[in-house]
Structure 1
Amino acid sequence: MSTEQPRPGPGDEPGSGPDRSASELPKAPPPSEPPGDRYGGNPYGGAGGAADPLAGMPPLASLGRRLLARIIDSLIVGIPVSLLTLPFMGEYEFDSGGGGYGQQAVVLLVYFVYEALMLSARGQTVGKMVMRVRVAMLDDGAVPRGNPAWTRAAVYALPQLVPCIGFLFWLLNVLSCTWDRPYRQCLHDKAARTVVVSAV
């Protein structure tokens, strides 16, 4: 009986048998990262994989809260200013529209200054504080101090000083956030590069 061991055949290299250790086995490549936002999706509707300026920011404010904030601010400014200017408008014939326009112009100018100062100071008007929303810079979420605040307030309020055309622009402005994506910006937001988010 022969005592010679069988020679290893092709591919029968040392360590390739059943007793080969697990550390010597080839490792599978790591799974590739799925496309899209690594943080669980883009809540603002942006394109998958694109860097979102509001990553880590509070969610966008609802349109209902934004509308109620505007109504509150309009009442806060409109009622007292109208009452204060009423005695000075008595000499006009309101049927001709002259006195009504003058009063409206004063209200709009006061509202413009009110909103610009409040947003520049803290990113909120009184109405926005009540409804717990705030205006933030789109790039970094900061308070829109200085020029952005004044630009935003001007684009919202001042076009209404132009009869007829100003109202149509204002209407387009306030409605534009209902179809704008991904940040629900009105035209005054786009002009100032701001966005309205929930205040937390």
Structure 2
Amino acid sequence: MSYPPPPGQDPNNPYAQQQPPQQPYGYPQQQPQQGGQPAYGYPQQQYGQPQYGQQPQGGVPGQPAYGYPQQPGTVQANNGYININNIGMAQLATMGQRFLARLIDGLIISTVLTVVMIAGLGSAIGLGNDLEECGTYATPGYSQCVQDAQEASMGALGAMMVMMLCLAVFLALYEWLMIAFKGATVGKMAMGLRVVKEADGQLPGAGGGFVRYIIPIAGAVACYIGALLVFLSPFFDNSGKLQGWHDRAAGTVVIKK
């Protein structure tokens, strides 16, 4: 009694052994495993390690990926650049540049103040000469001469007060309004610096310019020591933005144009 050949065997060749089915060409061959481990030469995938050609997932915690844009207000480490909206990456002004700009402004203000003082001194000298020309009590018309000199001195004093008022207005307009609407005084212009809002890169405006101006003025009441501390306060800024106390109050930073 004969039995039919098993499936896949040539009926005309009963002695041929059954061959396993072949996989299509180019299809990755399955490798036998021994003891649960892939065979030698089979690509292994370890936990937490990306395969060749794959991009690693995640990154260093707290560090942006390479080429990823930084958030506005972020200071790049050790290179003095800050990312500001509507401006992009801008270079922060160094304390040396800011000192030179303040020095130039100081020279301009001192020149104007010197002119005012010379005018007041000239009025005082003229008053002294008028009194000497009046002579003594025995000189005829002495009383009238002294009265005229006093009236002249009152006029000179009034003119001096007007000049001091003009000087105060000049200082306010120079520091406050130029920063507010130009972003720079003459000294900052000469050094290529500009004061902008940290949030959007715009000019400080009247409000921001006034806050930035009035804080050093308030500090100057205490023998100018407070104002000096305000101007030196950028050295104490740990954020790397070199913001003084007046900059923080006004929300501004000083950058290179």
Q: Distance in 2 between matches of 1:144 and 1:59?
A: 18
Aligned length in residues: 170
> Is residue 168 of structure 1 aligned with residue 225 of structure 2?
yes
User: Computing the radius of gyration over CA atoms, which structure comes out larger, 1 or 2?
Assistant: 2
Match of 1:76 in 2: 108
Q: What is the letter of the counterpart of residue 78 of structure 1?
A: S
Among 144, 149, 152, the residue aligned to 2:212: 152
Among 63, 68, 71, the residue aligned to 1:36: 63
Give the structure-2-normalised TM-score: 0.55
- If asked which structure has higher relative contact order (CA below 8 Å, sep 6+), I would say 1
With over 3 angstroms needed to count, the CA separation of the structure-2 counterparts of 1:70 and 1:37, relative to structure 1, is farther
Deviation at 1:178, TM superposition (A): 1.2
1:5-154 alignment, distance < 5 Å: 5-6=19-20, 15-17=28-30, 28=51, 30-31=55-56, 32-34=58-60, 35-38=62-65, 39=67, 43-45=75-77, 54=84, 56-88=88-120, 110-154=170-214
Q: Deviation per CA, 1:63-103: give whole Å up to 9, x if none.
A: 11100000101111221133124433665xxxxxxxxxx99
Q: What is the letter of the counterpart of residue 30 of structure 1?
A: Q
Q: Distance in 1 between matches of 2:21 and 2:101?
A: 88
Deviation at 1:37, TM superposition (A): 3.7
Q: Distance in 1 between matches of 2:83 and 2:215?
A: 23
Deviation at 1:147, TM superposition (A): 0.3
Task: Give structure 1 stretches of 5+ with no counterpart.
Answer: 9-13, 19-24, 47-51, 92-101
Match of 1:178 in 2: 235
Q: Is the 8 A contact 1:144 1:194 kept in 2?
A: yes
Identical pairs, percent: 28
Deviation at 1:180, TM superposition (A): 0.8
